[in-house]
Chains A and B, each alone.
Chain A
Amino acid sequence: MAKRPLGLGKSAQQKIKKQKAQATNDNTSTADEPTQIQIQLDSNADLDDELTQLNGLWNSYVDSERDDELILNGIIHECDRLLRSEQQKEKKSDTKPIVLTDIFHSIYALALSELTIFKSEEDDEKKRFKLIADFFDSALERVQLGLEKYPDSPLLRLTESKIIFQRIPLEYIAQLNTGSKNKKTIPDIKKLLKRGEQVFDIDNIEPKYFDLAFQILQSFNDCLDIIENFGHESEIEEGLDSDVDEDLEEIELDESHPLYEVKKQLDEHYQWLREKLEQLFLKIEKELEKETEEKEDREKITYLYASVAKTIGELYLKAAEIYSHIFTALAYEDDAPKDIDGFDLKTSQKKALELTSKAVNYFEKAVRKDDPQTWVDHAEAIIDLGNLYDYKSEDQESSYAKAESLLEKANKATNGKYKDVLDKLLSNDDDE
């Protein structure tokens, strides 16, 4: 009589029994099955090429949740092996040596740098910072070794800036508190930020590194945010109110604090960040105009386009904040002075409108047909813009109406997830 399937539970039990029996026979432990990972490879790539495989493994890690230290260790071991293999083959004159490209050095360095995230979970503080420092040092050393062979590699320069921007918060700022005084505790953050900016160069990078470039700028953005909100970590962890303008009171650092000077230069860094993001955005836009992309690649780059646009939009809103606050205070507060910080009503309004309009423009570009959150981001920026127009002016009314329509659409699609945002807009209308 023919065999029939046993049933899910019984099959699983039988498999376990089989494994145990096999383990007993083999005199080995009943180890779990090895984790299987899928490696992304280009359809026309040489599948036997070891560097292609390494690249595929790295891309798979980058596109994953990045929560598997084992895969990262695997990548580093593979890099080590390839390096040894290269050295051995160089000695043997009869075999063709492996050419370790700048991509290899970049992957190796980035993997070492990425590993610090897992090392930051080490309980022993002293050990933790030692481990993190060692891995960052090794990562930077790998970049230098790569640059010796490929001095013109834009990829390796980008890699260096990625490591620097990752290192500043994870290793240096993590050692500080608001009372830290000794500037020598950590290296000069100001110089490090400058170095990171200098080596970030996207003029000659290939489209396949647009995503890396965006990751670096995001790391930089995070780094600036951490510096700006230094001392407020616990409040941020508690969760800020998304629907209330909850400005965190600025913590005044002592002049001797290692972050004191950096904080003073934040505006310049943010401006640099916006410029680089806009450069990247233009490159992506150009790439999208080409019609040769495969469907999957096109989806990826479209997503990147929207993500970059959103980040730029957020940064323009942030830049507008100071002028918006001044304008709102001068326009609506009783007993308001004629100007604040040298800005009167008209100039603050003009400046705020200029920056917020740019933000709205980018949020509009970031809108994705199937993502209601992007509609809401757009609507919220439009509300901000509306707030800057003259009270009850046509521009203001039309901005609010446009935002209302976007929010209604988003609420329809999400069972009222953004009802509070819409309610707030409508209640403001009522108040007025």
Chain B
Amino acid sequence: MTKAKRSNKSEKSLQQSKDAKPSKKQALPEDKVKSLFNSKIWDTEFQQNLQNQIATAKPYNWGSITPLVDDDLLRKVRKEIETEIHFTNKETDIYKVNQSGDLANLSGLDWNDLSRLPSLFKLREILYSDVYREVIAKVCQCGPLSGVKTDMSINTYDKGCHLLIHDDVIGSRRVSFILYLPDPDKTWKEHYGGSLQLFDSVVPNVPCSDPCAKFVPQFNSIAFFAVQPGFSFHEVEEVKVDKHRLSIQGWYHIPQFGEKGYIKGEEQEWVKTNTSTLAQLESKTLKDYEFPKLTERELIPYHKVKHLEEMAGEGNSITLTREDLDKLSKYISPQHLSVAGVKSLQEKFLESSILNMEDFLKPEISDVLREQIRDTELEKECPYSYDDVKFPWKTAFPTHKWRYLYIDGKTDFKIHNGEDLDNSLNSGDESSNFQLTKYANGESNCVETELIDLAVFFQSLVFQKYIANLTCLIPISEQILIRRFRPGKDYTLATTSPISPYDLSRSETSAMDLEEEREKVADKSKSFEFLKEALLEATLCLTPSNYKTWENGEVGGYQLYMMNQTKDQVKNNKDLDDASVYKKDDSGDAVLINKPAAWNTFTLVLRDENVLEFIKYVSANASGSRWDINAKWDVEIEEDEDKQ
């Protein structure tokens, strides 16, 4: 009630301030500016010490000052923000935050008219004053900073809010800063979350899995760092309690034309050279660091595909034999195997390219497995740091694309540096063999062995037949992953459908044995064509904790499919300049599927190339991990159809 009242008032206030004429205020004199800062920052010895600290800071050059400005001024700023600014909760794959405007910056808050926010106006003025910028430039050793290109936004992070790892490399940003304004009369404790976490890099552009430095926010403290392409990876840790972590973040840019320190062409060169997190993720070199490698689906042996083809009748519809059904019924619920049930599923899939099947595994399997997974969650300590993760589990990498635990049936490896990477590349391609990893942790009848049995079932010919039967598509390659998304840790960012490398018309390849297999296929089946623009994807979600806690998406962990923006939309969307928010969809119009984590649900999707998918970051407040088995198949299409 109070909230609704407040937001209404603030909207009105903003509207009024927009309508008012911009006020022309006299710039503050330098001595006045200086008096509004902590006096020690003008001390040369303090500056030198800070400069040294920043130069030697780990994992990259960053620093902090506490307190930064006049306490009274900042309290007034906080009060103004509380009473005058309306915040909107925004959630994308990379963040969940309450923002002051329509997006991270500017819109919604008229920074040119801060007449209703006099203290905020004053704060911005001193933060971008010549004298203060000079100090920041000096201690960061980053070169001169623009005073005209101001760039600030206000966010409040309350329970569940977070901003996942990114590097802030956007446009002409040279220094990033965050000025914190939580409750001035209370100490912000570490266990509240909301810290600034900094990540070291394995090699440039590849951040490590775990953060190695942390800054716990306090009222009137500022953290800042020079934006370093390929290195300045950081995140805002999730706020875990019912508290508001208010902050003002901003950036100092490269000097603009007419300013002191301006160098012609410097900004263009910087922008050209340095790529944002998004662009990095799409670069080829980074693909080497991608684990698991989603483009490397293994070819299903030729004889199996041939068998499926031969079984397929008109329209690739495969009839399941009594024997097939017997095998399938060892795992799958009877309602999904009955003639009527399958027919209905086929029709649905043909119509919409998606199937949602509840109670996929039969109760005898499902009930035992559920208890086993939940017991594992509650009784066995879950590894949270990269080095604690033990085979057969591995950690998905790189961190600015995804992080989760997975079992892929391949050998163990750990990457700490470039050399480890070379070793992993030298080890070559390897087929997935879940059976070999089954007893890797020396235990039998544990959750891993049960999940591995399921993965093996997914790889079986009879399951492939079942999938072909439901979809009228013949799988020709596959990748099966058992995944666990830990609360307060794991996620995947939105990516488009990973393109198959098994396009026969393409020449590049990476492994001899696969090449041989491919040649064999090419020789024997002239009409063997692949659906290049789509991928068949299945997710059997096995999240055992209370569904009610996942249902509304508040704790994340949901799987979302959405339309990617077309080239025209990209051109028209200025927000895309900001790579830290590159996958937003506020309208919700583009969302195709939003599936909460649940127990025993099977989702089958024919995902075309323009469809993004992600698993939302699982909140620390989730009642357990999200578990699933994810399968991807390239599928065959009939040649004639392709021509049509």
B540 at the A/B interface (Cβ < 8 Å)? Answer: no
A65 at the A/B interface (Cβ < 8 Å)? Answer: yes
B window 149-203: CB within 8 A of A: 158-159, 183, 186, 189, 191
Bound Cα distance A419, B192 (Å): 12
A60 at the A/B interface (Cβ < 8 Å)? Answer: no
Contact A370 B378 (CB under 8 A): yes
Contact B352 A11 (CB under 8 A): yes
Contact B243 A239 (CB under 8 A): yes
Question: For B191, B315, B593, B640, which residue has the most chain A Cβ atoms within 10 angstroms?
Answer: B191
Contact B382 A5 (CB under 8 A): no
- Find A3's partner among B1, B189, B315 (CB 8 Å cutoff): B315
Given contacts A2-B314, A414-B487, are A8 and B353 in contact (CB under 8 A)?
Answer: yes
A window 205-260: CB within 8 A of B: 233-234, 237-243
Cβ contacts under 8 Å, A266 to chain B: none
Contact B534 A239 (CB under 8 A): no
Contact A3 B350 (CB under 8 A): yes
Contact A7 B353 (CB under 8 A): yes
B window 509-545: CB within 8 A of A: 533-534, 545
CB distance from A284 to the nearest CB of B (A): 20
Given contacts A1-B641, A5-B349, A370-B374, are A233 and B533 in contact (CB under 8 A)?
Answer: no
Cβ contacts under 8 Å, B377 to chain A: 413
B576-618 interface bits toward A, Cβ cutoff 8 Å, 1 = contact, 0 = none? 0000000000000000110000000000011110110000000
Cβ contacts under 8 Å, A170 to chain B: 1
A373-416 interface bits toward B, Cβ cutoff 8 Å, 1 = contact, 0 = none? 00000000000000000000000000000000000000011110
- Find B244's partner among A2, A121, A238, A369 (CB 8 Å cutoff): A238
Bound Cα distance A4, B474 (Å): 11
Contact A5 B350 (CB under 8 A): yes
Contact A8 B384 (CB under 8 A): no
Bound Cα distance A239, B159 (Å): 10
Contact B353 A6 (CB under 8 A): yes
Question: For A4, A242, A371, A414, which residue has the most chain B Cβ atoms within 10 angstroms?
Answer: A4
Cβ contacts under 8 Å, B379 to chain A: 412-413
Cβ contacts under 8 Å, B353 to chain A: 5-8, 10-11
B472 at the A/B interface (Cβ < 8 Å)? Answer: yes
Cβ contacts under 8 Å, B315 to chain A: 1-4
- Find B644's partner among A1, A233, A234, A417 (CB 8 Å cutoff): A1
Bound Cα distance A123, B611 (Å): 40
Given contacts A9-B610, A120-B1, are A65 and B552 in contact (CB under 8 A)?
Answer: yes
Contact A4 B382 (CB under 8 A): no
A window 162-208: CB within 8 A of B: 170, 174
Contact A8 B611 (CB under 8 A): yes
- Find B382's partner among A11, A415, A419 (CB 8 Å cutoff): A415
Question: For A7, A10, A170, A412, which residue has the most chain B Cβ atoms within 10 angstroms?
Answer: A7
CB distance from B527 to the nearest CB of A (A): 13
How many residues belonging to B are interface residues under a CB distance threshold of 8 Å? 64
Given contacts A8-B353, A8-B561, A370-B378, are A1 and B638 in contact (CB under 8 A)?
Answer: yes
A12 at the A/B interface (Cβ < 8 Å)? Answer: yes
B328 at the A/B interface (Cβ < 8 Å)? Answer: no
B window 610-637: CB within 8 A of A: 610-611, 620, 623, 637
Bound Cα distance A4, B623 (Å): 40
B window 242-260: CB within 8 A of A: 242-244
A372 at the A/B interface (Cβ < 8 Å)? Answer: yes
Bound Cα distance A371, B624 (Å): 10
Contact A120 B4 (CB under 8 A): yes
Bound Cα distance A78, B380 (Å): 51
Contact A415 B488 (CB under 8 A): yes
B8 at the A/B interface (Cβ < 8 Å)? Answer: yes
Cβ contacts under 8 Å, A1 to chain B: 315, 638, 640-641, 644
Bound Cα distance A419, B488 (Å): 14
Contact B607 A4 (CB under 8 A): no
A267 at the A/B interface (Cβ < 8 Å)? Answer: no
Cβ contacts under 8 Å, B545 to chain A: 370
B473 at the A/B interface (Cβ < 8 Å)? Answer: yes
CB distance from B4 to the nearest CB of A (A): 5
CB distance from A310 to the nearest CB of B (A): 15
Closest to B589 in A: A16
Bound Cα distance A104, B471 (Å): 47
Contact A9 B191 (CB under 8 A): no
Contact B191 A233 (CB under 8 A): no
Closest to A63 in B: B548
B window 65-81: CB within 8 A of A: none
A134 at the A/B interface (Cβ < 8 Å)? Answer: no
Contact A123 B4 (CB under 8 A): yes
Cβ contacts under 8 Å, A69 to chain B: none
- Find A9's partner among B183, B382, B563, B637 (CB 8 Å cutoff): B563
Contact B473 A415 (CB under 8 A): no
Contact B592 A9 (CB under 8 A): yes
Bound Cα distance A370, B372 (Å): 12
- Find A8's partner among B1, B487, B606 (CB 8 Å cutoff): B606
Contact B244 A239 (CB under 8 A): yes
Cβ contacts under 8 Å, A7 to chain B: 353, 533-534, 606-608, 611
B57 at the A/B interface (Cβ < 8 Å)? Answer: no
Question: For A2, A121, A372, A419, which residue has the most chain B Cβ atoms within 10 angstroms?
Answer: A2
Closest to A121 in B: B4
- Find A10's partner among B314, B381, B471, B608 (CB 8 Å cutoff): B608
Cβ contacts under 8 Å, A233 to chain B: 2
CB distance from B537 to the nearest CB of A (A): 9
Cβ contacts under 8 Å, A9 to chain B: 563, 592, 607-608, 610-611
B31 at the A/B interface (Cβ < 8 Å)? Answer: no
Cβ contacts under 8 Å, B641 to chain A: 1, 4
Contact B183 A238 (CB under 8 A): yes
Cβ contacts under 8 Å, A5 to chain B: 349-353, 471-473, 606
Cβ contacts under 8 Å, A293 to chain B: none
B window 341-360: CB within 8 A of A: 349-354
Closest to B622 in A: A414
Cβ contacts under 8 Å, A239 to chain B: 158-159, 241-244
Given contacts A5-B349, A5-B353, are A174 and B620 in contact (CB under 8 A)?
Answer: no
B316 at the A/B interface (Cβ < 8 Å)? Answer: yes
Cβ contacts under 8 Å, B611 to chain A: 7-9
Cβ contacts under 8 Å, B620 to chain A: 415, 417
A420 at the A/B interface (Cβ < 8 Å)? Answer: yes
CB distance from B156 to the nearest CB of A (A): 11
**Can you list 11 A-B contacts with CB-CB less than 8 angstroms, sorted by A residue number?**
A1-B315, A7-B607, A8-B352, A9-B592, A65-B552, A121-B1, A241-B186, A370-B545, A371-B623, A413-B378, A413-B379
Binding site for B on A (CB under 8 A): 1-12, 15, 65, 120-121, 123, 125, 170, 174, 233-234, 237-243, 369-372, 412-415, 417, 419-420
Given A4-B350, A241-B186, A412-B381, 14 additional A-B pairs, CB 8 A: A4-B316, A5-B351, A7-B533, A8-B592, A8-B593, A8-B608, A9-B563, A9-B608, A9-B610, A238-B243, A371-B623, A413-B378, A414-B487, A417-B620
A-B interface, 6 closest residue pairs, ranked by CB to CB distance from nearest: A2-B315, A7-B608, A239-B243, A239-B242, A5-B353, A413-B378
